[in-house]
Amino acid sequence: MMRKTLSLIIAAWLASLTATVTTSAAAADLMAVYRDAMAYDAQYASARATLDAGREKLPQGRSALLPTIGLAADVKWNDADSQARATGVTTSNRYNSNGWSITLTQPLFRSQNWIAYSQAELTVAQAEAQFGLAKMELIVRAAQVYFDVLLAQDARATAQAQKLAIAEQLESAKRNFEVGTATITDTHEAQARFDLASAQEIATQNELLVKQQALRAVIGKEPEGLKMLKPGVEMSRPQPDDISKWAEMAETASSSVQIYRAGLEIAQREVERQRAGHLPTLDLVATRGKSTIGSGYSTGGSDSNSTTVGVQLALPIFSGGITVSKEREAVALREKASADLENARRTAALNARSAYLGVTSGLAQVKAYEAALTSSQSALDSNKLGYEVGVRINIDVLNAQSQLYDTRQKLAKARLDTLAALLKLKAAAGNLSESDVQAINALLE
């Protein structure tokens, strides 16, 4: 009887655990979830649009170095009356006039425009770094919601298996009480544990639904199933296996550091641009125009054509002190950008160290739980044998079975948490890419 019950418990646990991941041959893997997230995630779409907008800064900066051409035209009706003081004769002159002109201006020396162009190049680089950061954040976010669903499925399966085990324990306590081999206390204790297990099962079911909705918010749909990690999957230590080297990489190569480094260079160029406001400007100006005056009372009309080519020099002398004020403002903002960069470096190094410790700690936990799983299995086998020979009771076997389920769940969580920490470590160092998703994807069933 006991062996049959244990077989049913194990079968129920395995069936519940795999129900949502093997219902279809088209169960989604991590790579599929990541690609769906790229197409659906609103944060990633916003980052992509921001990148497109940032790239437009380069042609905008270049435009200030190129010539500008303008066309102007006019048509007028003229009605003029004049009276001679000596004779008192009034003369009226009514006529049409029209004209057009086209002007070309080519900057020859405008230091501010060249500096602004270099700023535009840095702005594009900053936008690229921001998009790179958004892409790595998407990888981490997609993997996290994927792992969260797997953990929630495992927790629900464990809760259901424990409930089934306790239900058998409760029935056994009732039977023993009826035949007088146990007290009512055993029945009450088993009933309390069964009620608690029922509540836990409801909580895990609700948690699974929440995690599934979080996954849907990222990829826009609910997959028929998700592939699990392969049983006994081996995970290696991060390379290089040196926390200091990861911190150094983060301080130089992380996307956040690149963003703030570009910000500092832009701020430095802004100081130079504001100082250039004191310098003269030199432009080449060419104009071609034509004007026509129609026939009137005192004129037979005329046509005139004009062409001018020359250079125009402008020297700022005094502008109310705004140029000097803007220069001081730019210097202050440069100091702020320098402090922001230093803070970004420190934060990146801290994130890398924390993620590295998360990976190494996770690997240690995996080994510990693997050993605990072996021990729990041995304890279960020993209790089963003891029950058969009469030195163990039903509750001992079921407690050992519950411990085995709990250890399996914690081992699964440790493995997934370690993989998530590895992704965060590479993101902190600025070298997380799609190949890392493929590497983890290869660990799935």
Asked whether the predicted pLDDT for residue 206 surpasses 80, the reply is yes
Could you tell me the sign of the dihedral formed by the alpha carbons of 405, 406, 411, 416, in that order? Answer: positive
Lowest mean pLDDT among 4-8, 75-79, 195-199, 231-235: 4-8
Asked whether the predicted pLDDT for residue 9 surpasses 60, the reply is no
Q: Pick the residue with more confidence: 64 or 181?
A: 64
> Which residues are 91's β-sheet partners?
82
HSE of 3, CA atoms in CB hemisphere, 13 A: 4
Asked whether the predicted pLDDT for residue 6 surpasses 50, the reply is no
Per-residue pLDDT, averaged over 103-130, amounts to: 95
Query: For residue 59, which of 136, 1, 116, 135 has the smallest C-alpha distance?
Result: 116
Asked whether the predicted pLDDT for residue 363 surpasses 60, the reply is yes
Q: CA-CA distances (angstroms) from residue 232 to 13, 336, 398?
A: 18, 51, 25
> Which residues are 300's β-sheet partners?
none
Query: For residue 231, which of 353, 359, 412 has the smallest C-alpha distance?
Result: 412
Residue 24 confidence class, pLDDT cut points 50, 70, 90: very low
Longest CA–CA span in the chain (Å) reads 145
Could you report the per-residue pLDDT of 218-245, keeping only the tens digit for each? 999 988 889 998 887 888 899 999 999 9
Lowest mean pLDDT among 123-127, 273-277, 295-299: 295-299
Dist. CA 74–CA 163, nearest whole Å: 90
Look-up: residue for tokens 């003269």?
A: 280
pLDDT at 120: 95
Per-residue pLDDT, averaged over 425-430, amounts to: 94
Could you report the per-residue pLDDT of 246-276, keeping only the tens digit for each? 999 999 999 999 999 999 999 999 999 999 9
Asked whether the predicted pLDDT for residue 2 surpasses 70, the reply is no
pLDDT at 108: 94
Query: For residue 262, which of 69, 123, 420 has the smallest C-alpha distance?
Result: 123
> Which residues are 282's β-sheet partners?
109, 313
Could you report the per-residue pLDDT of 277-290, keeping only the tens digit for each? 999 999 999 999 99
Per-residue pLDDT, averaged over 42-60, amounts to: 95
Lowest mean pLDDT among 7-21, 37-51, 305-319, 331-345: 7-21
Asked whether the predicted pLDDT for residue 183 surpasses 80, the reply is no
Residue 182 confidence class, pLDDT cut points 50, 70, 90: low
pLDDT-above-70 percentage for the chain? 90
Asked whether the predicted pLDDT for residue 21 surpasses 60, the reply is no
Q: Enumerate domains of the chain plus CATH numbers.
A: 2-72+95-441 (1.20.1600.10)
What amino acid is encoded at 140 in this protein?
V
Neighbours of 260 (CB within 10 A): 24
Asked whether the predicted pLDDT for residue 339 surpasses 70, the reply is yes
Q: Mean pLDDT across the chain, nearest whole number?
A: 87
Question: By three-state DSSP, how is residue 225 classified?
Answer: coil
Asked whether the predicted pLDDT for residue 396 surpasses 60, the reply is yes
Per-residue pLDDT, averaged over 89-114, amounts to: 90
Dist. CA 173–CA 185, nearest whole Å: 9
